[in-house]
Amino acid sequence: MLTNLQQQPADALLALIKLHNNDPRADKIDLGVGVYRTDSGATPVFACIKAAEKKLLETQDSKAYLGPEGDMGFVHALMPFVFGKNDPTLGGRIDGMQTPGGTGAVRLALALAKRAGIKRLWMGTPSWPNHAQIVADLGLELQGFKHSSKGGTVDMDSLRFAIEQAGEGDAILLHGCCHNPLGIDYSNAQWDEIAGLLKAKGLLPIIDLAYQGLGHGMEEDAYGLRRVLAEVPEALIAYSCDKNFGLYRDRVGAVYVMMESADQVQAALSNGHALARAAWSMPPDHGAAAVRLVLEDEALVALWLGELDEMRDRMRQVRGRLAAAGTAGTVDMIPFGSQNGLFSIVPLTPEQVLAMREKHGVYMAGTGRINVAGLTMGNIDKFVAAVADVTAA
193-206 burial, b at 16+ Cβ within 10 Å, e below that, comes to ebbebbeebebbbb
pLDDT given at position 14: 79
Answer with the one of 240, 261, 296 that is the final residue of a domain: 296
Statement to judge: residues 246 and 277 lie in one domain: yes
Comparing CA positions, the residue from 273, 90, 118, 140 lying closest to residue 205 is 118
Q: How far apart are the C-alpha atoms of 128 and 342, rounded to whole Å?
A: 13
Residue 51 lies in a domain: no
Averaged pLDDT, 116-122 = 97
Q: Is the pLDDT of residue 150 over 90?
A: no
Strands (E), 17-100: 29-30, 94-100
What are the residue numbers of the active site?
128, 208, 243
Statement to judge: residues 113 and 241 lie in one domain: yes
Q: pLDDT of 171-202, one tens digit each?
A: 999 999 999 999 999 999 999 999 999 999 99
Per the CB < 8 A criterion, the answer to whether 283 and 277 are in contact is no
Statement to judge: residues 273 and 125 lie in one domain: yes
Statement to judge: residues 210 and 324 lie in one domain: no
Q: How many residues in the chain? A: 393
Residue 85 lies in a domain: yes
Statement to judge: residues 25 and 136 lie in one domain: no
Averaged pLDDT, 297-314 = 97
Statement to judge: residues 287 and 346 lie in one domain: no
Residue 374 lies in a domain: yes
Q: How far apart are the C-alpha atoms of 70 and 320, rounded to whole Å?
A: 41
Averaged pLDDT, 291-318 = 97
Residue 92 lies in a domain: yes
Q: pLDDT of 80-91, one tens digit each?
A: 999 999 999 999
pLDDT given at position 393: 63
Residue 352 lies in a domain: yes
Per the CB < 8 A criterion, the answer to whether 150 and 310 are in contact is no
Statement to judge: residues 105 and 208 lie in one domain: yes
Is the pTM here over 0.75, yes or no? Answer: yes
Statement to judge: residues 292 and 347 lie in one domain: no
Comparing CA positions, the residue from 20, 15, 17, 41 lying closest to residue 361 is 20
Name residues whose C-beta falls within 8 Å of residue 174's C-beta, 6 or more positions apart in sequence.
124, 194, 205, 206, 207, 208, 224, 228
Statement to judge: residues 152 and 73 lie in one domain: yes
Q: pLDDT of 340-371, one tens digit each?
A: 999 999 999 999 999 999 999 999 999 999 99
Q: How far apart are the C-alpha atoms of 388 and 390, rounded to whole Å?
A: 6
Residue 304 lies in a domain: no
Q: What is the CATH number of the domain that holds 37?
A: 3.90.1150.10
- Name residue 319's amino acid: R
Q: What percentage of residues in the chain have a pLDDT greater than 70?
A: 100
3-state secondary structure of 99: strand
Q: Is the pLDDT of residue 151 over 90?
A: no
Residue 301 lies in a domain: no
Measured in degrees and rounded to the nearest 5, phi and psi for residue 130 equal: -70, -20
pLDDT given at position 172: 98
Statement to judge: residues 22 and 160 lie in one domain: no
Residue 57 lies in a domain: no
Answer with the one of 265, 296, 327 that is the final residue of a domain: 296
Q: pLDDT of 14-61, one tens digit each?
A: 788 888 899 999 999 999 988 999 999 899 999 999 999 999 999 999
Helices 380-392, 298-324: crossing angle, 10 deg rounding = 40
Q: How far apart are the C-alpha atoms of 77 and 7, rounded to whole Å?
A: 44
Note down the domain range covering 140: 65-296
Q: What is the CATH number of the domain that holds 100?
A: 3.40.640.10
Task: Report how many domains make up the chain.
Answer: 2
Statement to judge: residues 69 and 136 lie in one domain: yes
The CA R_g of the chain, rounded to the nearest whole Å, is 21
Name residues whose C-beta falls within 8 Å of residue 9's C-beta, 6 or more positions apart in sequence.
none
Going by pLDDT thresholds of 50, 70 and 90, the confidence category of residue 109 is very high
Statement to judge: residues 163 and 252 lie in one domain: yes
Going by pLDDT thresholds of 50, 70 and 90, the confidence category of residue 9 is confident
Answer with the one of 242, 268, 296 that is the final residue of a domain: 296
